[in-house]
Chains A and B, each alone.
Chain A
């Protein structure tokens, strides 16, 4: 009887941890998902933009101490949020001068041909960011030290890590703001129209290239925020993007390619599976569990949980 009770508590604990971790995963997946959904570009460098967000948050909070005046509690959160606009601008410029050359209206007609150069380009950007990060930031694993990461809130028998809880709340807020921006605002609708049918979007007066630039900036920007949030819950080094990009791809595919809401649920599911698997499997098999569940879901719902019921013609 007592073992069953302990197992139940463990279960709830893993569930809570999964939800909290999954929230930030969800935000990352939304970032990758919006880039794929609007531009049809598979961004292999996405994890490295997250890494940039981590280091930006780190340097603003700890390294240069710009945010020390905000105190040890608020500083790391503001740092993570501020990493967003900085990486947004970086992504905007990168698209303007590099990525736009192999994507957009001109390549839409030759889709398969275009994808090769896109894959090589984003892979190249990934390598440059990783190794550039190694030169600039060094290889020593670091993390943002905040009292939040060591303290927990107690919810009955369950412990909620404070840094993760705050990260979860902020991730959900960002995902919701983005969701309403895409659903309600004029610019958001133009972005969806450009994603849905770029040719028709141009006919109604949408600047498709600019929509792509906005989508890319937003995608990498919110992923940088997710990175900044994670930076106070775990250690990281310049190669960390690679560990996460696989999780992100799995999340986006799980949610259904092209669905923003789906990408969030996909990321959340990955977080849940990862934490819940520790109940029955050794810690090292977390990622194995993720991909077993991933394959199962794709086997039963090939379009993902929120996939579109029709295809683009």
Chain B
């Protein structure tokens, strides 16, 4: 579904991604893990089009994504839930979800998706008319994911959904992400610093360090790898 080949990205002369290649199959849950500053968010921004690469190729369902304008990429079924949530703070919870459904598909399936999102995150139903800026961090994260789901995506990209949340909330959020994957069969690309949680239920994963893919493999290969165990899982 998503194929990235030798992607190079630089900010002001500083190489953020070097020769990154990555593949996501339809229906898969793929995790990209790695420490702070490894280039994980840059990877997402390049896919969404807010950052332009120096070279490389991104194919989405066989189509050259780099030739598509950033605003149009959401229309193709790519939902980007950004790092730090980035909800529309001055708009209500419902308006945020409506903005999620700004895409053609999202609008067409609003009637079926809204109840699904509210069932997944009941707190959003309680806070419908509240301004998103007044929600707690965990609620904002749920809203950001809900907004992503409202676009009726085929590929859901989650950037550090655990950022700045209390451990109990992190578990709840990951639980929901698994649920979205299992029950709705959605293709998920997750970027995380919390390696253990991210690798726990992914189908395959990539380890990114200082802009390079240093390891890739299936779920069982990665969690069994002694280097991953030592460096990230504390075993």
Contact = CB atoms under 8 A, between A and B. Distances in A.
Interface of A: 105, 186, 189-190, 192-193, 195-197, 199-208, 258, 308-310, 312-313
A312 B74 contact: no
A203 B82 CA distance: 8
A127 B103 CA distance: 41
A205 B133 contact: no
Given A189-B95, A189-B98, A202 B49 contact: yes
B48 interface: yes
B71 A208 contact: yes
Contact of B80 (A189, A193, A203): A203
B40 interface: no
A189 B89 contact: no
12 contacts: A189-B99, A193-B88, A196-B88, A197-B89, A200-B82, A200-B86, A201-B99, A203-B74, A205-B102, A205-B151, A258-B90, A308-B90
B41 to A, nearest CB: 12
Contacts of B103: 204-205
Interface in B60-96: 69-75, 79-80, 82, 84, 86-91, 95
Contacts of B74: 202-205
Interface string B91-132: 100010011101100000000000000000000000000000
Contact of A189 (B87, B91, B134): B91
Nearest to B144: A200
A203 B150 CA distance: 12
B231 to A, nearest CB: 31
B147 interface: yes
Contacts of B100: 204
How large, as a class, is the contact surface on chain B?
20 to 34
A190 B91 CA distance: 11
Most buried by B among A197, A203, A207, A258: A203
A259 to B, nearest CB: 9
Contacts of A309: 133
Contacts of B87: 197, 200
Contacts of B72: 205
A204 B99 contact: yes
Given A203-B74, A205-B102, A205-B151, 19 more contacts: A189-B99, A192-B88, A192-B95, A193-B88, A193-B99, A193-B102, A195-B90, A196-B89, A197-B86, A197-B88, A197-B89, A200-B88, A203-B48, A203-B82, A204-B74, A206-B99, A208-B71, A309-B133, A310-B90
Nearest to B105: A205
The 7 A-B pairs with the shortest beta carbon distances in the complex, nearest first, are A205-B74, A200-B86, A207-B71, A196-B88, A203-B80, A310-B133, A205-B103
Most-contacted residue by chain B among A196, A199, A208 (CB, 10 A): A196
B71 A202 contact: yes
A190 B99 CA distance: 7
Given A189-B95, A199-B50, A310-B133, A206 B90 contact: no
A192 B91 contact: yes
A80 B84 CA distance: 46
A199 B88 contact: no
Contact of B70 (A196, A197, A202, A312): A202
Contacts of B70: 105, 202
A196 B71 contact: no
Contacts of B50: 105, 199, 202
Contacts of A312: 89
A309 B132 CA distance: 12
Contacts of A196: 88-91
A308 B70 CA distance: 29
A205 B101 CA distance: 9
B81 to A, nearest CB: 8
Nearest to B81: A203
Contacts of B75: 205
A206 B71 contact: yes
Nearest to B104: A205
A205 B49 CA distance: 11
Contacts of A186: 98, 102
Nearest to A258: B90
Most chain B CB within 10 A, of A186, A193, A195, is at A193
A195 B79 CA distance: 20
Interface string B32-50: 0000000000000000111
Contact of B89 (A203, A204, A310): A310
Nearest to B134: A310
Contacts of B102: 186, 190, 193, 204-206
Contacts of B49: 202
A202 B68 CA distance: 13
A197 B84 CA distance: 12
Contacts of B89: 196-197, 310, 312
A175 to B, nearest CB: 19
A201 B74 CA distance: 10
